[in-house]
Every structure is written in structure tokens, then in C-alpha cells.
């Protein structure tokens, strides 16, 4: 067996200009992230800022909407004629009717303004939605048509009441549609708040 001996290379310290044999401190470039992951994207930041701003307004208006909505639900029975067919009917006072109608109007205006900010908030490309936001958005398929129908039926009911008639026909569904809409709306708020940490005084 022939063995070849090579001279041992001189230590690199002897060559001051030679690259160091010891690995340099690790740098971000060593880790293998793609430019898409590691490069700043100023446009995306602007888009996210605008999105957050619009969704904050949506959230605030959405919460404010619950106040006239709850008040309209409470005053609803006071704006309805009472009494069975064939018996004397007690008409609601004009004040009660007008107050309930004003609350309904305020609810509708606030609701659609809030909805505008949610719908117009910019979408982030390449984002697949998951989590509570999906239920929050799905419930809009109930309360959005509900918020169109409720005032429409309310106007019909208001006209019938003012004409001295007992509310009849499709207008008589006003209350049921309003309760369903409010329930879906409340569920939508709870959906994005869930799971709620009830013992908020504990860490």
C-alpha cells in the first residue's frame, strides 16, 4: 500500500488577507427566507393601515347601532294596535309610533353606514379567511336583508296604523323580521368576541 503524505497547510492566521476559516456570525441571509417573506412592502402597510382604520369605524358604528336597535325593539310593542278582531282595538299614540319610527330610522342609517365601512375596507391579497370572522360575515346574509326588509315593512305598518287599520298582510311580519334581524346582528357581534373571557378581573 502506498501512502502519500501531503504537507500540512500553514495556519490561515499566517495570511492576514485571507478569508477567515471560522464561520462568520450568522446573518439573516443564511436562513433561507424568500424575498417575499423578508422584504418590506410599504404599499401593503398603507393598505393594512387603511383597512384597520375603516374596520375600527365599522366596529364603533356597529356597537353604537345596538343602542337605537335595542330601543326600537323595546318600543315596538308600544307602537302596535292592541285588541283581537271583533273587539275594540286600542290604537298606539302618534308619539309612540313616531318615536319608534325615528329609532328604526336611526338604526337603519347607522347600520348601513357601518356596513359601508366593512364592505369598502380593502381586502388583503392572498389572505384566506378563517376563524370567527367567517361566522361574522355569514350572519350578514341574515341581518343585511333583514335590515332592508324591517324598515320597508315598518313603513307599510306605519301607513296602515295611521290609516286607522290594524296592521295586516306582509306588514304584520314587521315585528318577527325585526327580532330575527336583531338576533342575527347580536350573534354577529358575539361571534367576533368569542371566546369571551368572562372573569375579566383575572389574568
Partner 1 sequence: MKKIFLLALLLAAPPVFAQLDTQWVIEQSTLTYHMSHPMHQVDGVSRDAKGKGVCHAEECDFLIATPVKSFDSGDTNRDLHMIEATRGAQFPMVVVRTRFPVGDTASATIYADLEVQFAGQTAHYAHVPFQRATQGNQVRLTGTILATCSDFKIDRPSFLTVPIKNEIPVRVDITWRPM
Question: Which residues would be at the binding site for partner 1 (CB under 8 A)?
Answer: 3, 5, 22-28, 30-33, 37-42, 44-45, 47-49, 51-52, 55, 59-60, 63, 124, 127-133, 192-193, 195-197, 200, 203
Our CB check for partner 1 shows the closer of 164 and 195 to be 195
Q: Contact at 8 Å (CB) between 54 and 181?
A: no
Q: How far is the CB of 105 from partner 1 (least distance, A)?
A: 25
Element (H, E) at 193: helix 174-193
Give the integer Cα–Cα distance in Å for 94 and 163: 12
Question: Strand, coil or helix: what is 178?
Answer: helix
Residues 6+ apart with CB under 8 A from 71: 103
Give the integer Cα–Cα distance in Å for 10 and 137: 71
Our CB check for partner 1 shows the closer of 126 and 164 to be 126
Q: How far is the CB of 136 from partner 1 (least distance, A)?
A: 8
Our CB check for partner 1 shows the closer of 59 and 113 to be 59
Our CB check for partner 1 shows the closer of 141 and 176 to be 141
Q: How far is the CB of 99 from partner 1 (least distance, A)?
A: 28
Q: How far is the CB of 93 from partner 1 (least distance, A)?
A: 37
Give CA 178 to chain center in angstroms.
Answer: 20
Of residues 68, 80, 61, the one with CA closest to residue 154: 80
Amino acid at each position: 500500500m502506498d501512502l502519500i503524505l501531503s504537507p500540512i497547510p500553514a495556519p490561515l492566521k499566517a495570511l492576514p488577507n485571507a478569508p477567515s476559516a471560522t464561520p462568520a456570525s450568522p446573518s439573516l441571509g443564511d436562513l433561507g427566507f424568500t424575498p417575499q417573506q423578508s422584504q418590506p412592502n410599504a404599499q401593503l402597510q398603507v393598505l393594512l393601515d387603511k383597512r384597520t382604520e375603516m374596520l375600527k369605524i365599522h366596529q364603533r358604528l356597529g356597537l353604537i347601532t345596538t343602542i337605537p336597535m335595542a330601543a326600537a325593539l323595546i318600543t315596538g310593542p308600544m307602537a302596535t294596535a292592541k285588541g283581537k278582531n271583533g273587539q275594540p282595538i286600542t290604537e298606539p299614540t302618534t308619539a309612540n309610533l313616531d318615536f319608534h319610527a325615528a329609532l328604526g330610522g336611526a338604526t337603519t342609517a347607522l347600520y348601513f353606514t357601518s356596513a359601508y365601512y366593512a364592505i369598502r375596507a380593502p381586502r388583503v391579497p392572498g389572505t384566506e379567511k378563517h376563524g370567527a370572522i367567517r361566522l361574522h360575515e355569514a350572519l350578514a346574509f341574515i341581518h343585511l336583508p333583514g335590515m332592508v326588509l324591517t324598515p320597508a315593512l315598518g313603513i307599510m305598518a306605519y301607513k296602515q296604523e295611521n290609516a286607522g287599520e290594524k296592521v295586516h298582510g306582509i306588514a304584520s311580519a314587521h315585528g318577527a323580521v325585526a327580532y330575527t334581524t336583531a338576533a342575527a346582528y347580536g350573534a354577529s357581534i358575539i361571534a367576533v368576541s368569542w371566546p369571551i373571557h368572562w372573569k375579566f378581573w383575572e389574568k
